[in-house]
Structure 1
Amino acid sequence: MGGLVRGAQLGRLLGQWHALPARRRSPDYVALASAVRGLLADGRLALGVRLPAERELAESLAISRTTVSAAYRELRDSGHLVSRRGAGSWTALPEGLRVGSSGLWAPSDDPGLIDLSSAAPAAPIELAAAARAAVEDLPRYLGGPGYFPCGLDELREVVAARYTARGLPTRLEQILITNGTQHALDLVVRLIVHPGAPVLVESPTYPGALAALAGSRARIATHGLGAQGWDGELLLDTIRQTRPKLAYLIPEFQNPTGHLMPLRLRELLPAAAHSAATDLVIDESFVDLQLTDDPLPPPVAAFDRHSRVLTIGGMSKPFWGGMRIGWIRAAAPLVQRLAAVRVGVDMASPVLDQLVAVRLLDQAEGIVAARRASLGVRRDTLVTELRDRLPEWSFTIPRGGLTLWAELDAPVSSALARSAEAHGVRLAPGPRFGLDGTLERFLRLPFTLPPVDLTEAVGRIAAARFDLDRGTPRPHWTEPTLIA
């Protein structure tokens, strides 16, 4: 158990808890307990967090202490709260409410299947020409052994220059080239996280990150994201109180919610992390995919004065998932330590792939501009279709990235995914992006497919949702193995 949510912070998370129609018909204490359970189910309130004292919460919500006391009793009875006399009360889930491990969907050869489990676009047309040009560059390296644990210097220079252009001066020695962003995260976890170490992630978050951290046997805690993103005060307090060894965050167009972290929180995060001896792993996989003309805030690492920030990124999202080239930006001594860890894992990245990456990054401005324009049209198509076919669902239109995070009209995400597969649509249900069975009211919907496919997909999803209400039996759903 770890962390404390204060009365004012819980009050912000609860919002207008007593005004919802279903709750106006219930006593206040029942409505309050139901609202807290909803926060837990949605992942907006983490598990194992100590709730405020009854008096403090009563004052924050301007209700009687008796109401809060009765609500806490309801939560204890339902298994959502564990209390110790004189010590406090901690959030929990009833026994048995847990989902299986996260994973990725296996690809399918079914031509009629619309796959919305993967948030990855097709390759740009420039890729084939870049690959041919890279083959011509290859002879320069054929006379040596071909092992470059830190990556080719020419690629490291290009990546460093991209950071410098964003206002974050970076030298070649601060860059380690990896086999994709997931590999970058895995190396960082191998170096920093020991079994049993506390780590902090957002909820929801990228399933691959949860898998990497679970594989290290870390103790994972969560910071729940609301409709507007991060609660900055609560996030900073959680870091200071729980002192995680590592905090994994996605500030730019967060996967899966699409939120963009505000400037002020970026400024405060590195200092809070340093005071707690926490290393921040900042995943910038989607930083190039802004869909508005607003200027982006500076990178979190721009405010780092103590080498606490490790930034990871790669080619998969702005270019192509098959380009297994990623990178880590960190202090030069840390890069050398990561390279030493890397030698025991895979020695080095393929030289030819790195040469292709150099060629693509030289054309990045034009490629990414075309990608943004295409994604903007596809996002707008998805938004229009959802509003027309599933008006009971709610969502915030993302200002960038590849995905929309929809709140459903009921906690049926996993059941809907099973029903939708029978209609020829593969979905990534909300619980895959969280821990312990939470997020059943949510669904991640990528807008990477052509508009005609997105229109068809939403129609099929609407039919699947209708089937759930009718109780129409459907064939057995196979457990997914891949979510990208």
Structure 2
Amino acid sequence: MAVGERRINGHLLARLIGTSLTERPYYLAAGRAISGLILDGRVPTYTRLPAERDLAAALGVSRNTITAAYTWLRENGFLDSRQGSGSWTVLPGAGAGGGTPLIPDSERIDLGAAAPPAIEGLQDAARLAVDQLAAHVGGLGYTPYGLPELRHAIARRYVERGLPTTPEQILVTNGAQHGVSLLMDLLVEPGDPLLVETPTYPHALDSARRCGARVRTIGVTSQGWDMEYVLDAFRQWKPRLAYLIPDFQNPTGALMDDDERAAVVAEARRAGTSLIVDESVVELAIDSGDQPMPMAAHDTDGRVFTVGSVAKLFWGGLRIGWVRTTPPVAARLMAVRQRVDLSSSVVDQLTATHLLADIMRIRAERIRRLRLNRDALTAALRDRLPGWRFTTPSGGLVLWAQLPRPVATALGEAAERHGVHAAPGPIFGAEGTLEQFMRFAYTQPPDVLNDAVDRLAEAYSEIIARPVSVRHDLYV
């Protein structure tokens, strides 16, 4: 990654820091605030920081204060400088982000895989699908674009959500990740800048890297996106493509509102950027209230590619997803698909078609159960781990928790020993950040979640009882 390719001005950095620096000395408060922004991904690594005098003016402090703050950041490994080139953000002992795959663990209480159990009625729908096979077995069984009846059902659901859509705009895939990978294969050339959130869904990040894209990041928290920063990223980098999760973002749970969606699409248009919008959990709005329109509702020139799936609503084992795009792009995606895959299962497509006909009832039941699970998890965390901070997500399948200390990887390992499978924050980061966060799926029933939190509390007590090696007063 080219050093200093990304810049942040004094006004924006001051706003991210916050202007009320009450800790003494002020330089240490400013240094810690900037290091926190780097660690949680809101200021990406290799970002050139503003000149000392510019940040001092924006914060209303002396230049000597910012000089001392930058010195502290250098001493603690968060800042690198070169004569005549300025200073840019780095990580102490930086390495590539990593972690264990987000795969289910049947040996432990699984809070890592965001995959709910199958809904009631799945087996009945599958039996109806098998009964319908007689109408299909006379052909070859290949449906390059998807079964017509399924494409009609998916298009109809978009119309119900307020987005005019025809079946010709739908390409059926083997799950949402399949659709994301196809789009990246089609739209990205090696070396193209690709914008992603941090934290984000790690398998999409892997797809971007396999395409040879130059990954650039924008921060998102449980409170949402800093839109000034997001729009500035489009202006600075003019990325070829951006991958966003505006609906109950994975892993933070944030929900982008209508005005923010419109602003992102407008800025993408000006930058010449295409958008992959992942709607994998869009149907899982737990709390009541009007939901934002699909981001594609703000699209005027076919640059928004929407990816959907039935996995999170119906069952992960039903490998049916789709891409909503223009008919010409659907044809190009179908051609790309032929390199590795010819068609989705006819039985699965028929099953999904039957379930989509009953989506409102199924959705209401799924949401009812998720609400019980979510509320049980949040109550248990507040009771057993009161020092952990989180925002209760209004939908989706996961909760993003901030720990008092940056020990997520160690906690994940300790939790495994205590019989809980969880997902440490660095799995969701592009650059080794997010050690102060954990993601927990609330797909288990309340009694299991209560047991899991008891075990997590024991694991956390075990971790914090160990002596921690720190750089200077970094974690004081």
Shared fold (TM-score, shorter chain, > 0.5): yes
* Alignment equivalent of 2:156, drawn from 158, 161, 170: 161
Identity of aligned residues (%): 50
Q: How does 1:49-448 map to 2 (within 5 A)?
A: 49-94=47-92, 96-110=93-107, 113-448=108-443
Q: Distance in 2 between matches of 1:225 and 1:17?
A: 22
Q: Residue 100 of structure 1: CA displacement? A: 5.0
Change (3 A) 1:165 1:109: closer
* Structure-2 separation of matches of 1:100 and 1:233: 26
Between stretches 27-36 and 331-340, larger displacement belongs to 27-36
Pair 102,154 (structure 1): closer, same or farther in 2 beyond 3 Å: farther
Shift of 1:105: 4.2
Partner amino acid for 1:98? G
* Mapped partners of 1:249, 1:470: distance in 2: 39
- C-alpha displacement at 1:185, in angstroms? 0.3
Q: Which amino acid in structure 2 is aligned with residue 428 of structure 1?
A: A
Equivalent residue, structure 2, for 1:457: 452
CA contact (8 A) 2:243 2:277 kept: yes
Greater CA deviation, 190-199 or 444-453?
Answer: 190-199
Matched, 1:5 2:13: no
Contact 1:196/1:219, CA 8 A, preserved across alignment:
yes
Deviation (angstroms), 1:109 = 4.4
Q: Report the CA distance between 1:211 and its aligned residue.
A: 1.3
Contact kept, 8 Å, 1:207 with 1:434, in 2: the verdict is yes
Q: Is the alpha carbon distance of 1:17 and 1:197 closer, same or farther for their aligned partners in structure 2, counting shifts above 3 Å?
A: farther
Larger mean CA deviation between 62-71 and 283-292 belongs to 62-71
Q: SS in structure 1 opposite 2:221?
A: coil
Preserved contact between residue 101 and residue 211 of structure 1 (Cα < 8 Å): no
1:471 counterpart residue number: 466
Q: CA deviation at 1:236?
A: 0.8
TM-score by structure 1 length?
A: 0.93
Q: Residue 378 of structure 1 contacts residue 449 of structure 1 at CA under 8 Å; is this kept in 2?
A: yes
Task: Name the CA distance, whole Å, in 1 between partners of 2:431 and 2:412.
Answer: 18
2:27 paired residue among 12, 29, 33? 29
Bigger Cα displacement from structure 2, 175-184 vs 83-92: 83-92
2:365 alignment partner, SS class: helix
- Measured in 1, the distance between the counterparts of 2:118 and 2:325 equals 29
Read off the aligned partner of 2:95 and give its amino acid letter. Answer: R
Q: CA deviation at 1:45?
A: 1.4
| Matches of 1:7 and 1:193, distance apart in 2 | 32
Query: Shift in Å at residue 352 of structure 1?
Result: 1.0
**3-state DSSP class of the match of 2:401?**
strand
> Which residue identity does 2:6 align to in structure 1?
G
Shift of 1:11: 2.1
- Give 5+ residue unaligned stretches, structure 2: 468-476
More divergent stretch after superposition (99-108 vs 402-411): 99-108
Question: Comparing 314-323 with 66-75, which one deviates more in the overlay?
Answer: 66-75
Tell me by how many angstroms 1:202 deviates: 0.7
Structure 1 CA distance for aligned equivalents of residues 124 and 409 of structure 2: 42
Letter matched to residue 12 of structure 2 = Q
User: Using the alignment, how far apart are the partners of 1:105 and 1:302 within structure 2?
Assistant: 32
User: 1:44 is matched with which residue?
Assistant: 42
Count the aligned residue pairs: 464
- Tell me the distance in 2 between the aligned counterparts of 1:459 and 1:242: 45
Amino acid in the other structure paired with 1:11: A
Q: Following TM superposition, by how much is the alpha carbon of 1:344 offset from its aligned partner in structure 2, in angstroms?
A: 0.9
User: Structure 1: which 5+ runs fail to align?
Assistant: 473-484
1:214-244 residue CA offsets vs partner (Å, 9 max, x unmatched): 2222111111113411001110110111111
Q: 8 Å contact 2:41–2:434 — kept in the other structure?
A: yes
Cα deviation per residue 1:427-446 (whole Å; 9 max; x = unaligned)? 11000010222000100011
Name the structure 2 match of 1:15.
Answer: 18
Scaled by the length of structure 2, the TM-score of the pair is 0.94
Q: Distance in 1 between matches of 2:293 and 2:86?
A: 40
Structure 1: which amino acid aligns with 2:101? L
Contact 2:318 2:348 (8 Å CA) reproduced: yes
SS at the partner of 1:415?
A: helix
C-alpha distance in 1, partners of 2:272/2:97? 32
Residue pair 1:47, 1:222 contacting (<8 A) in 2 also: no
> Which shifted more, 155-164 or 47-56?
47-56
In structure 2, the residue matched to 1:477 is: none
Aligned partners of 2:161 and 2:131: how far apart in 1? 31
Shift of 1:85: 4.3
Letter of the structure 1 residue corresponding to residue 446 of structure 2: P
Contact 2:402 2:437 in 1 (8 A): yes
State the alpha-carbon separation in 2 of the partners of residues 466 and 17 from structure 1. Answer: 33
C-alpha distance in 1 between matches for 2:57 and 2:102: 47
